Amino acid sequence: MTKKIFKFRKAIILVLVILVTYIGNSIFIAPYNNAVQAIAYYYGSKGNAVGTIQKKLKSWGYYNGSIDNVYGYQTFTAVKYFQSKNGLKVDGVAGDATLKALGINTASSNSSSQLSGSSQDELLLARIINGEARGEPYEGQVAVGSVILNRTRDPRFPSSIAGVVYQPGAFTAIVDGQIHANLEQNSINAARDALNGWDPSGGAVYYFNPATATSNWIWSRPLIKVIGKHRFCR
């Protein structure tokens, strides 16, 4: 009888040990696993996603190395430089915030086809054109896209398309959600034309609709031209 009680107690203890171990893993190890699985690229990372980061940085003048899909020292320092210029945490790690500023779709970061640098810029530019200038003359839609691109080359603004588009308070379409409106083909075409160098805005870095503008300051900007309902300014 004593042996049976001892075996029973031993079994209970074993079950308790297993249960405590499982709970401990859930509390302490699982969050760590989730953190490891978060989208981030850092010194030593390899793959197509790293190559896309390098292409983005190189096209905007932050990176001078080769596109080798290896997150080496040059990539690390280029990411830090990009972060410092775009108001991001300067740690050399390409996490969600940095990838977003680079215009890289983090939700699809493991797919090389979704990480094409040019297609991501084109899509984001098309969406902001669609949200801001849908229904405007085609020339005016391209001009809106050109303003975004002109800002990336102006030291007063972020140096990436994503950085310009998502700069707080910069565009009504971000505030009211119109950036997510059904994307029209005209907006895609306008984005492509702007990216290919057509600038109907004449080098503008501002535009506004006089009928809806709420800022008195915007009226102080020197006018370049009027296209449709928008005034394009320096």
pLDDT confidence band for 147 (50 / 70 / 90): very high
pLDDT confidence band for 135 (50 / 70 / 90): very high
Spatial separation of the C-alpha atoms in residues 202 and 209, rounded to whole Å: 17
Token pair of 45, please? 């990372």
Token pair of 195, please? 């990216």
pLDDT confidence band for 106 (50 / 70 / 90): low
Per-residue pLDDT at 37 exceeds 50:
no
Token pair of 202, please? 């004449």
Superfamily of domain 117-233: Cell wall hydrolase SleB, domain 1 (1.10.10.2520)
Per-residue pLDDT at 116 exceeds 90:
no
- What is the predicted pLDDT for the residue at 153? 94
- What is the predicted pLDDT for the residue at 29? 34
Phi, psi dihedral angles at 95 (to 5 degrees): -90, -165
Burial zone of 99 (CB within 10 Å; 0-12 exposed, 13-18 middle, 19+ buried): buried
pLDDT confidence band for 28 (50 / 70 / 90): very low
Domain boundaries, the chain: 1-37, 48-93, 117-233
Least confident of 35-39, 54-58, 85-89, 225-229: 35-39
Threshold 0.85, pTM exceeds? no
- What is the predicted pLDDT for the residue at 7? 60
| Closest-CA residue to 92 (of 35, 39, 37, 41) | 41
Terminal alpha carbon distance of the chain? 94
Look up residue 106 and give its DSSP letter: G
Element at 58 (helix H, strand E): helix 48-59
Average pLDDT, the chain: 81
